[in-house]
Structures are given as C-alpha cells and as structure tokens.
Structure 1
Amino acid sequence: MAPELAPVLEQLPPMLDPYADIAGTRAGLHTLACHFPADRTGVESERFGVPRPDGSELAVEVYRPVGAPGASPGGPGPLPYEHGPLPYEPDPLPGVLQFHGGGYTFGQAPPGEDRTAIELVRAVGAAVVSVEYRLAPEHPCPAAVEDCFLALEWTAGQAAALGIDPARLAVSGQSAGGGLAAAVALMARDRGGPALVHQSLVVPDLDDSAGTRPTPADDDPRLPDGAFVQRGWRHYVPEGAGAHPYAAAARATDLRGLPGACVVVCGLDPLRDTGLAYARRLADAGVPVALHYVPGAWHGFEMFAPETRLARETTAYWTGRLRAALHGGREGGSEEGPGSGLTPRPSSAAPA
C-alpha cells in the first residue's frame, strides 16, 4: 500500500457487493450524484437522442466549454456565450467519446452530471460526448459496445453541427469504460472508421479472464478483488451466450493499426496484469503506448483519495496525454510516432 493512501484505506469499511442488488446500486449512485451536484462552472451541455437500428434511442450528453462553437444538429447555430469575449479562437474543438465505468452494469450519471466529462472539458479543451450505453444484465453484450460505436459514428457524422473537428476524435474510459474504449478503437479500425487519434484506457476492464487468478487485493475485504471483476463479466457476457468479437478487447489477435494509447494500471488492482499485458501487446504491434503504473494503489482509488499526490499525478498524466494527442501541433507537442513502443511513467515522477 502506498503510504499516502494507507490512512484513507483505514477509514474504509468492508466493501459491499454492488452486484447483489444492481437496481439498488444504481438508485444509490443516482441519489448520491443528486445530493452532490457537479461543478459545471465554465461548462455547458446538451442532450441528444441517437436513433438505433431498432428504432430506440441512445442518450448522449455533449459537454463543451461555455460559448464554444456548436449547436443541436439542425438547430439555430452556435450556442450563446454570456460571459464576455470568447476565451479562444472559435475553431471546431476536438471531440472525446467518454464511456463511464461500473462493471458494465451501473455507473450512469444523471443528465448533465457526468463529472469525468466535465473535468475532461476543462483539462483537455475538448467537446466531450458522454454515452449512456445500455447496461447488463438487462442488455448483455454486444448492446453496450454497439451503443458506444454508434455514438462515435453519430459524433463524426454531426461534427460540423456540434462544432467538433472530425479529424481529432478520441475515445476514453475508466474500468469497464476503458474496456469499451479499447473495443471501439478496434471496431473503428475494422469497420473503416471513424478515425481516432487516441485511446485513453484508465484501469481498463478489457479481458474476461481478469480476476480468475489470484490478485493483489484478494486478502483485503475493503478492496475490489478478482471475484468482484468476474461478477461484472458474468452479467455482461453470460455463460453460454457465445463470443462476440468485441466483447473483450484482449481477445483481439491483431492490434496493428490502432490509435496511440495511454494505459493506466494500479498495483493493487485485479485488472493490473491484463492491463499490462494489453499495453505490451499494443507496443509489440507498433502502436505508440504511454504506460502509467501507480504502485500501491487500488482500483478506483482516486474516488476515495482525490486530493492525494498519486491521484493528482495519475489524472494529470493521462489527461495530459489525451490533450497532447488532440492539440499536438497547435500546442507545440505531439503524439509519439509509430513504433515508439512503451513509454513507462512511474507515478512518483512529475506528470507531463
């Protein structure tokens, strides 16, 4: 355990099983979000319904800096800016598809309350599309991953109306969201677009074998362990349901031609080894990879210790990599070129 996190862990009770009552878990998270609304200063959002092939609608929320270019497709034009002159040139913004975590079964924020999306708008200088993909067990795989890819296609197709540059799109997610981001990157490659410039995979849940072997957290009831991970996968990909080619990104046999990636793994996370293995496979396939390893930290530690050095450095690192990929030439930096391989960055070092 990282010394800085030990006092935080001491205050945590044994972890309750969120899968024992999924409806209750969803309701509890919704209530918590409503009691502690996100700080939306400088950020505005707009909600859209994206038609699915079956006639139902996928809900997405598009977050932008206040006054940034963009409006509803078919709407009246750019959104008004009410706080003085625009703080930047009114060029189209890069776009980030943000996929929430939650073991493929929960984690959706109330409308306009996706904290990660709001923080990404500020940290990255982008329009962020938060995707409310369908959840298991009511909607097992491939519902979630097809929803996420549909959101990418819609964003690229409506880019002009949304004030987004279609040549600067990225996918991002944490935990299950990281698994979906990796899968969508594969789908975009295999289906001929839309093109992506980066994938942020933060403690990604991208291998359905994760948690089937001993993990560093197995002996502490306060931490997510291997059994916790496996319960989520059993809901998302039920036994006997058949293997969907994008159910788990780690199943892919060919990782060539994917966008550059930033992969974050934690030392006490049951997803650690599968995340490390995927980063190595990406590098071996010639994909530029930045690997950020957080020793002595558990899965989701930033939620419990957001003001610690480890949390601040970890967030600054992967958001910095995302910003560089999206703004590279405009801000004097750039994503690594092909074949640069792994760029390890221990969290004890100052973030880029």
Structure 2
Amino acid sequence: MADFSKYGGASREWKAVEAAFPSPAPDGSSVLEKRTAANANREKTSAALMTELADKVELIDVSIPARDGFALEGRLYWPKSVPKDAQPGLYLHLHGGGYLFGTLSSEDAICSNLAINTSDKGTPLVVLNLNYRHTPEWTYPTAWLDAQDGLAWIHATAVPQFGVDPAKVVVGGISAGAHITATLVLEQHLGKLPADVPRVAGQVLMIPALVNSQCYEPQLAQLASPKVSSLVENEFAPILPVHIAHFFTDLLKVPAHPRVDDTFLSPGNATAEQVQGLPPTVFGICGLDPLRDQGLLYARLLSEKAGVPTNVHLYRGVPHGFRRYGPDWLSVSRDWDATMEDGIAWVLKNPTATNTLDIIVHGEETM
C-alpha cells in the first residue's frame, strides 16, 4: 500500500513566497470576470518575457478545424536556430488553467522557451500551442475532443506543410492540460482514435489531474490509509486547495455518477492491462499538491505494473502551479523547466523501461 505523505510540507523558499505574496481575499467576481482577469495577467507576464525571446523564435498562427466546424486557434513556435528543412520533432502543448483559464498568447513564453531550449540542447523541436475551448461556455468533453482534432491536424497538415517528423510527435500538458493529454494518449493506445493518425512518441504530464473527484475510490484503495491521501494532507494547500479544484471541475458539468472505470474521464483509474504498451511518459509532480497522489499512483501503475518507460520528477516543498513565481523566488523552477525540455528529448530516444518507480526529488527539505 502506498504512502506518499513524506513528500508533503512547505519549503523555506515557499514560505518566503507566501510572506511576499499573500493570497488575495475573495472578491465576489463572476466566473467570467475571474477568467478575464486571470487571462489578462497571464498574457501580461508572457508578453514581458517575450521581449527577450522574440528574436529567437518565429511564431506562425494557424487555424485548426474542430469536428463541429469550430475554428480552433493554434500557434507554432519555430526556433530560428532550426532550419526549415530539418524535419524537427513537434510538441503539442495543452495549457493549464483549470479548464477555464488560458489563451493563445498566455502561452507564448512557455512555448517559445520550450522550443528554443530543447532545440539548443540538441533535439530540434517546434511547439504547437492549441487553444482548446474552455468552460463555462464549453463543457466536458469539448476540450478533450479539441485535442483529438489537434493531433489529427498535425498529421494531416503540419507534417506535409511544415515538414515536421511524424514519428517525433510528443503530447504534453500542465494540470488540466495534462488531464487532456493523458486521455488523448490512452484513447489512441486503446484504438479509439482514427487508425491513420500515427502513434505519439511520448507524453509529458506536468502536475496532472487524472481522476475525476467523483471517481476517487480506486485511488484511495491503493493508499495505506485515506488519512495519508494528498487530498487530506494538502486539502488547504496554496494556489489549488481542494475546494478550488472542485470549483474548476464543477464547471465542466460532468454527468452525475460517472463510472469509476471510465478512462476517458479518469485515465488514472486505468488497469495495468489497459496502459501496457503506452509510450514513454514524463511526470512532473508537486509535493504540496492535492493532485500529488494521482500523479504518483499513475506513474507507479505505468512503471511497476505495465512496464512503460517513465521519467518521474517530484518538486518537494512547493504547491501546484508554483512555476509562475519563477527561479528568482523558487530555485526548483529551473528543475521544472529541465524536466520538460530534457523529458521531451528523453522520450524521443526510445528509452527502455526499468519496471520500478524511480522518483527524482528536487527542492529543499520541507519545514
């Protein structure tokens, strides 16, 4: 039985962040007002960072047709160091934001850095930022289907038009985007996507949500006690306490009483047989996160029970979404960046499985 509670607690650096940036008081704003404010802040932060990146990367806007005729926004980030005939790999980026927040421009700095730095380290890479549709206007499973349509577009359009290597397509996401990623990759593996879409080379799951809150019983059954669950230990964690996580998922309007074995909704509840043969998978997990155990249990399932190559990183002492504060405040931010950049390169090297859950721990001892 698992007990990951040793990874809980806050680091000294995080305590300093909390002191410098106290949590704002509830302001009574509507869902749409919250989204507008959050997106504006994310876009402002990204734009400031892009001042140092703009001359290193070309941004190419594209329109991606969804199955219902909606035109999805997409943006390619092509490092200027990568020749147009280099046949680079492609990373499909699915942003975080609780299925509610995020725009095309809010991801410019993240995607540019990822494309530039991964390429500079020796793995030529372009990034496709897919702005999937958000709540509250678009409910479950719209965003998940948008991701499927984005993957199909890559092979139907990006491969012939831009010359990316169809054998080097990696899918990854952060938080809600990691949830969508895990479903997308598992659905393809289970033969539920069109057969003419080539298998993805790997997936990157950063601070993933993998199980719907109505379907958590199989997760608790794997723990030594419900009391050691990260949902209990980190119930009131910074940034994403449990009640805020429920606020986001409630907006999805998932039908009541979903099946716990519905792997489209809860890929973290898949069986070893279902995940056996998945492509190499990178995990980035925070110790001070209610979602911690979902990520670690899925990593254990893939590595120990299904023989899937895994690369598992745990950021000790910091909560879900800590990366927004950057390396000036949290040194472990550099480890986060390296996990993604080096992780993409790792999956493209066709790594072998170790059949053990090897967790690489980053960050300070907790207080």
3-state SS of paired residue (1:293): strand
Shift of 1:45: 1.2
CA distance in 2 between partners of 1:56 and 1:228 (Å) = 29
Post-superposition offset of 1:49: 1.3
1:246 counterpart residue number? 264
Q: What is the TM-score when the length of structure 2 is the normalising length? A: 0.80
The one of 239, 243, 248 aligned to 1:223: 239
User: How many aligned positions are there?
Assistant: 321
Which residue number in structure 1 is paired with residue 116 of structure 2? 122
- Within 1, Cα distance between the matches of 2:43 and 2:100? 20
**What SS does the corresponding residue of 1:230 show, helix, strand or coil?**
helix
Return the offset for 1:166: 0.4
* Cross-structure match for 2:152: 153
Letter in 2 for 1:247: L
**Match for residue 340 of structure 2 among 318, 335, 344:** 318
* Counterpart for residue 137 of structure 1: 136
* Aligned match of 1:344: 359
- Whose helix proportion is higher, 1 or 2? 2
Deviates more, 1:32-41 or 1:125-134: 32-41
SS in 2 for 1:201: strand
Match of 1:183 in 2: 183
**Structure 1 pair 54/224, CA: closer, same or farther in 2 (3 Å)?**
closer
After superposition, the CA RMSD in angstroms is: 2.6
Structure 2 residue identity aligned to 1:173: G
Q: Please, which of 290, 299, 306 is the counterpart of residue 320 of structure 2? A: 299
Structure 2: any 5+ residue segments left out of the alignment? 1-9, 120-124, 217-228
The 8 Å contact of residues 284 and 339 in structure 2, kept in 1 or not, is answered as: no
Aligned to 2:12, what secondary structure does the other structure show?
A: coil
How big is the shift at 1:260?
A: 0.7
> How far apart in 1 are the matches of 2:138 and 2:256?
15
1:201 and 2:218 equivalent?
A: no
Distance 1:209 1:272 in 2: 14
Alpha-carbon distance change, 106 to 346 in structure 1, aligned in 2, over 3 angstroms = same
Note the alpha carbon deviations across 1:150-206, whole angstroms, 9 max, x for none.
111111222121221000010111111111111111122222443111111010112
Q: Structure 2: how far apart are the matches of 1:210 and 1:289?
A: 27
Determine if contact 1:95/1:169 at 8 Å carries over to the other structure. Answer: yes
Partners in 2 of 1:67 and 1:340 — Cα distance?
37
Describe the shift of the 1:28–1:4 C-alpha distance in structure 2 as closer, same or farther (beyond 3 A). Answer: same
CA offset at residue 324 of structure 1? 2.7
| TM-score relative to the length of structure 1 | 0.83
Alpha-carbon separation, structure 2, partners of 1:183 and 1:237: 18
Q: In the alignment, is the contact (CA less than 8 A) between 1:30 and 1:109 conserved in 2?
A: no
- 2:219 maps to none
> Identity of counterpart residues, as a percentage?
26
Tell me if structure 2 keeps the 8 A contact 1:43–1:64: yes
Aligned residues of 1:19 and 1:231 also touching (Cα < 8 A): no
Quote the offset at 1:139 in angstroms.
1.2
| Change in CA separation of 1:219 and 1:183 when aligned onto 2, cut-off 3 Å | closer
Q: 2:73 aligns with which of 59, 65, 78?
A: 59
- Check conservation: 2:181, 2:205, Cα contact below 8 A: yes
Give CA-to-partner distance per residue, 1:305-344, whole Å, 9 cap, x none: 4333211123213321212323xxxxxxx34214544332
Residues 1:59 and 1:276: Cα distance change in structure 2 (over 3 Å):
same
Matched, 1:261 2:275: no
Corresponding position of 1:287? 308
In the alignment, structure 1 residue 46 sits paired with structure 2 residue 60: yes
The structure whose RCO (Cα within 8 Å, separation 6+) is larger is 2
Partner Cα separation in structure 2 for residue 22 and residue 43 of structure 1: 34
Measure how far apart 1:18 and its partner are.
9.7
Find the residue that maps to 1:97 and give its secondary structure: strand
Deviation at 1:28, TM superposition (A): 1.5
1:218 CA drift (Å)? 2.9
